[in-house]
Structure 1
Amino acid sequence: MSDKYDDIINMPHHVSKSRGQMPRRNRAAQFAPFAALTGYEDAIDESARRTDSKAELCEDDAAELDKKIKLLGARIAEEPFCEVVYFVPDKHKCGGRYAAVSGNVRFIEEASRQIVFCGGMRIPIDDVVKISL
């Protein structure tokens, strides 16, 4: 009884005379793992990332904050130093995070309702939750 491949099973391996053999490193690259789900890990990490919700200030805290902004505006010629805690909305998800910045305030822009620091940083007044002078 003969097998299907008996005619070729014992033949010598073909080696090309016109082309050199591929280096082992290049041959191994052909069999490297394939990532079919590129970006999947990033998507999982993004969905697991937590955000904070923006807290609403009570009337007393809002009045205190307004008083400090007016005091800051009255001393603007001195470029007063202060620390501001504000809410930064997330670009991809609902919510955001709280950040703190400190420095000298250059001016308060009434039209766009922003606090502008000497370094050029701008913070929307509506996102400010705390000011320490």
Structure 2
Amino acid sequence: MGTRLRTQKTKQKGLGQVIDKLTVYDGLLIRRHCDATEYVKSAIMATFYHYDSGDENPNHSMCPKDSWCSYQRAEASGELTTYTHDYSPLPPDVLEAIKPIYEDFSNDNLLSRCVGGFNQNNNESFNQLVWKI
């Protein structure tokens, strides 16, 4: 997923920081919840829809209630009426370009290979096991 998102970063100028943030978040998500594929699948798509959201069109229904999502935190604390997004939503053409990446990444077959904290790079997976000892 990281490689495909970085490819979009070169095609879509000005999105470097957002693409980097998405790549890091999704990597952490898999490593922290490596045995919960259903949770990972929904959380991956939550990040996609999170960055499709803005003040005019909030789309945080997939973001976890007790989570990293500042919109959900504002809703839980009753401060939603004064809440404003601290970022702009991704442009529709960017969302259209990265949506297939997210759909592929949330595929059960691919996620099943990540169970146990392994990733697709055998060397990185081996190193992770060594450092856990």
Task: State TM-score, norm by structure 1.
Answer: 0.26
Q: Which has the higher helix share?
A: 2
Higher RCO by CA contacts (8 Å cutoff, separation 6 or greater): 2
